[in-house]
Amino acid sequence: MLQRNQISPAVDLRNRPAELPSLAETFDAFVTYLLRQYLVILGTAGLCLFGGICYLMTAAPSYTALATMIIDMRKLQGAQQQSPVNDAPVDSSAVESQVEILKSENVALAVIRDLKLNEDPEFIGSGAGAAGAVLDFVSGLFAGSAPPNEFYRTRRAVRTFEKQLDVRRRGMTYVIEVSFRSLDPERAAQIANAVADAYIVEQLDSKYQATRRASVWLQDRIQELRSQASNAERAVLDYKKTNNIVTSSGKLLNEQQLGELNTQLLHVKSQVTDAKARLDRIEAVVKGGVPDATVADTLNNQVITKLRSQYLELANREADWSSRYGYNHLAAINLRNQMREIQSSIIDELKRLAESYKSDYAIALQRQTEIERAVNDSVSQSQSTNQAQVTLRELESSAQTYRSLYDNFLQRYMENVQQQSFPVNEARVITRASRPLSKSHPQTFVVLALSALGGLIAGLALGVLRDLYDRVFRTADMVETILDADCVAIVPRLSPSQLKAPVAGRPNLPVAARLIQRGDEPVLWAAIDSPFSRFSEAIRSIKVNADLNVTKPSKILGLTSALPNEGKSTLAFVFAQLVAQSGARVLLIDCDLRNPSLSRKVAANAERGILDVLSNNATLQDTLWRDPETGLAFLPGATRSRIAHSHEVLASDQMKDFIDAVRSHYDYVIVDFPPLTPVVDVRITAHFVDSFVFIVEWGKTQVQVVERALRSARAVNENLLGVVLNKADIAAMSRYSGYGGKNYYYNSHYGRYGYTE
């Protein structure tokens, strides 16, 4: 038994929880997606590939030349005679700064000026190839007839120059690569070398200008200091002359003593400073732990130096033993114990030295205090008698200070002059650019590969968009998934070659005969003419599903659809014919009272129909038309005028009594109803219809239209036998399902006559 699941109009089918597909289902879905969208994908990829080929054919080839430079700070340090201790390596920020300088506009302008690139069409045009020519032409139309000035050409050249120049650091080294791309290989090498040379010249010029500005400033400062020193010395001489101060051996004794005391005071202060420095250093070393080799050498203590050497030797042995036998090896532990003993000895020796330095510092400080006291006494003694000596010393100190500053600035000025005359740059070229042998742009393989890949990606995306907007029914799975209903049949579309030629003209039979004659609609007799065809098998599956529905009788079957022209009337007639041909008593009723298209096709001359039977104006036997080939009884829906309230006719008690009456005389009663969306007739027919068959046109009827129609028609929804996909393109269905193509749907092997297996 086939159990049909009913859908509820109050439930949104699109909000049902989705199950995750398996890997095989995902792969199958992807394959079917490729099958149905391969034309779009290949077409888009072909267009993109054709665009790449056109680009390769129109783009002018360009060549890239490469020159390499290195940042060498040792040259500059050697020229400045710096100590090897200050030879610090160049950090990454310094190298990256040099890269940015190479990219700067100053270097670009220097190269453009030297090589006159602002007059080269390659640099002042819009670009190379056909695209560049078109841009030049269009820009020329808008720019007018006035030629561009020098400034405009230079700015265009700078912009093009910066686009074609590439400067980068090679890994983490100090090597910088300077590459330039040009249409002419010789030009590319020439410009790459010119950039490197311009950078070196610019660096030398910047150093020269900086040194020159420093020299000018020092020169002005030297002149000012020379004048101040001369004035200070002249003031000393004038003061001595005014106060009769003799600077020879005839000067006063207290002055000589004061001079000697000052000399001793300066010497003692120097000793105090040295003692304090040694004391602070040794206390810092003692506080910090074991000193390194440099500190030991600075302390100049043989005991510490010897202990330090022993400590380093034990440390090397301990590291060797630990690496060989493990950190916790007894020998390694003993070595570490010896190292700790040496450390303790070093600390003890350092403490002893600290006490010695502390004593020296205290002695020196005491001597300084005594000499300062003696100086103060001497000064106080001489103030009352020789006040002029103090002023004289101040003047002499000032003169000496100015003289020292003058000598210092003069020495620095001479050093700058020497550096200015001997410029050294820290960058040098290690490989000059040479003429490239092959083009670098455009790269044929890369362009074609990117074009093809981009085309495939765009094609896949376009195919996905087409699938997203393709909201129609194409497979039985879609019907069962979206509508939660059984797909009872997939009726293929019949091509003209599969149909018999229509009759040339309708036979002129009397109306009283009421016999259905073949007309110009051969599809109505397709199942009778080809009983072994896929079309016939699809119609038979409707009857099979109706017979297997044992939950309720399916003797009265109603056929409807969501929209007109979906083939429901044709299927109703073909289905009734095929069932009648099997020997069953079948009555086909045309209840599409708004548009009785089936009656016009098979009983065009009918003057009476179902309305006459319901109104008792005619009997059923006087109204029926019969098919002489199958014995099908057909009750037309002929009306003399259009009925506005046809739904009241179908909902009437007379209609129900009529169906109950014919139920006992016929095995099957097939009713052709109007579509659901335009009219409301079908919604009130559940009182006499057992089951409904819903017809959906394959690949045309929108999903939302069918869902809305079923939600609005509760009678059809609750008594739905199944859905029939009509006018299906069997060959195209293989691209929407993963069941092996069109052979899955009624393989033609079973349609051959004489098959006996």
The domains located in the chain, with CATH, are 23-59+447-469 (no CATH), 261-404 (no CATH), 487-498+522-752 (3.40.50.300)
φ, ψ of residue 553 to 5 degrees: the values are: -65, 140
Q: Which pLDDT score is estimated for 247?
A: 58
Which position has the higher pLDDT, 573 or 441? 573
Question: How does residue 333 score in pLDDT terms, banded at 50, 70 and 90?
Answer: confident
The helix or strand, by DSSP H or E, that contains position 44, with its residue range, turns out to be: helix 23-58
Query: CA-to-CA distance for 174 and 180, rounded, in angstroms?
Result: 20
pLDDT value of residue 89: 52
Lowest-pLDDT choice from 270-279, 496-505, 634-643: 496-505
Among 141-155, 195-209, 599-613, 710-724, name the one with the lowest average pLDDT. 141-155
Residue 696's pLDDT is: 92
**pLDDT tier at 2, thresholds 50, 70, 90:** very low
The better pLDDT of the pair 1, 290 is held by 290
pLDDT for 80: 43
Residue 245 has pLDDT above 60, yes or no: yes
Predicted pLDDT of residue 724: 92
Q: What pairing do the DSSP bridges indicate for beta strands 668-672 and 586-590? A: parallel
* Helices and strands, counts by H and E, the chain: 26, 12
pLDDT of residue 611: 87
| pLDDT bracket for residue 87 (50, 70, 90) | very low
* Region of poorest pLDDT, from 82-91, 262-271, 357-366, 549-558: 82-91
pLDDT of residue 757: 29
pLDDT at 294 over 70: no
**Per-residue confidence at 47, pLDDT binned at 50, 70, 90?**
very high
Give the model's pLDDT for residue 76. Answer: 43
Rounded Cα gap, residues 691 and 549, in angstroms: 9
For residues 446-464, average pLDDT: 88
Closest to 651 in 3D by CA, of 625, 676, 688: 688
Q: Lowest-pLDDT range, 281-285, 469-473, 724-728?
A: 281-285
Higher per-residue confidence, 604 vs 74: 604
- Which of 533 and 255 is assigned the larger pLDDT? 533
Tell me the pLDDT tens digit for each residue of 19-38.
Answer: 677 788 777 778 877 877 78
pLDDT for residue 213 is more than 60: yes
pLDDT of 694 > 90? The answer is: yes
Poorest-pLDDT segment among 3-12, 60-69, 118-127, 536-545 = 3-12
The predicted structure's pLDDT at residue 290? 56
Rounded Cα–Cα distance for residues 424 and 461 (Å):
60
731/570: higher pLDDT: 570
User: For residue range 583-634, what is the model confidence (pLDDT) as tens digits?
Assistant: 889 999 988 888 888 888 888 788 888 888 888 888 888 889 998 888 899 9
- pLDDT exceeds cutoff 80 at 561: yes
Question: 0.95 cut: is pTM over it?
Answer: no
- Taking residues 11-17, what's their average pLDDT? 48
Amino acid at 404: S
Whether the per-residue pLDDT at 753 is higher than 50: the answer is: no
Do residues 170 and 179 touch, judged by C-beta distance below 8 A? no
Mean pLDDT of 285-295: 61
CA distances from 80 to 84, 86, 87, 255, 422 (A): 11, 12, 12, 46, 10
Question: Contact 696/724 with Cβ under 8 angstroms?
Answer: yes
Give the pLDDT score at 388: 67
Read off the pLDDT band of 755 (50, 70, 90).
very low
* Helix 534-548 / helix 568-581 crossing angle, nearest 10 deg: 80
Mean pLDDT (the chain) is 78
Query: Residue type for 87, please?
Result: D
| pLDDT classification of 485: cutoffs 50, 70, 90 | confident
Q: Is the pLDDT of residue 349 over 90?
A: no
Please tell me the predicted confidence (pLDDT) of residue 83.
41
Whose CA is closest to 419, among 74, 78, 90, 98? 78
Q: Are 715 and 682 in contact (CB under 8 A)?
A: yes
When pLDDT is averaged across residues 250-277 and rounded to a whole number, the result is 74
Res. 488: pLDDT tops 70: yes
> pLDDT confidence of 299, banded at 50, 70, 90?
low
Residue 476 has pLDDT above 90, yes or no: no
Q: Are 612 and 618 in contact (CB under 8 A)?
A: yes
pLDDT greater than 90 at residue 289? no
Report how far apart, in Å, the C-alpha atoms of 522 and of each of 112, 118, 539, 567, 753 are.
84, 81, 16, 14, 21
pLDDT number for residue 385: 46
The region of weakest confidence among 172-186, 233-247, 565-579, 597-611 is 233-247
The mean per-residue pLDDT over the stretch 561-586 comes to 89
pLDDT at 752 (0 to 100): 45
DSSP label of 417: H
pLDDT for 73 equals 55
Question: Is the pLDDT score of 690 beyond 70?
Answer: yes
* pLDDT band of 550, cuts 50, 70, 90: low
pLDDT of residue 529: 80
Q: Taking each helix axis from N to C terminus, what angle separates 129-143 and 23-58, rounded to the nearest 10 degrees?
A: 60
**Residue located via tokens 């003429």:** 435
Distance in angstroms (rounded) separating the CA atoms of residues 166 and 110:
17
The pLDDT-based confidence of 7 (bands split at 50, 70, 90) is very low
Given a contact cutoff of 8 angstroms between Cβ atoms, the answer to whether 268 and 367 are in contact is: yes
Residue 18's pLDDT is 53
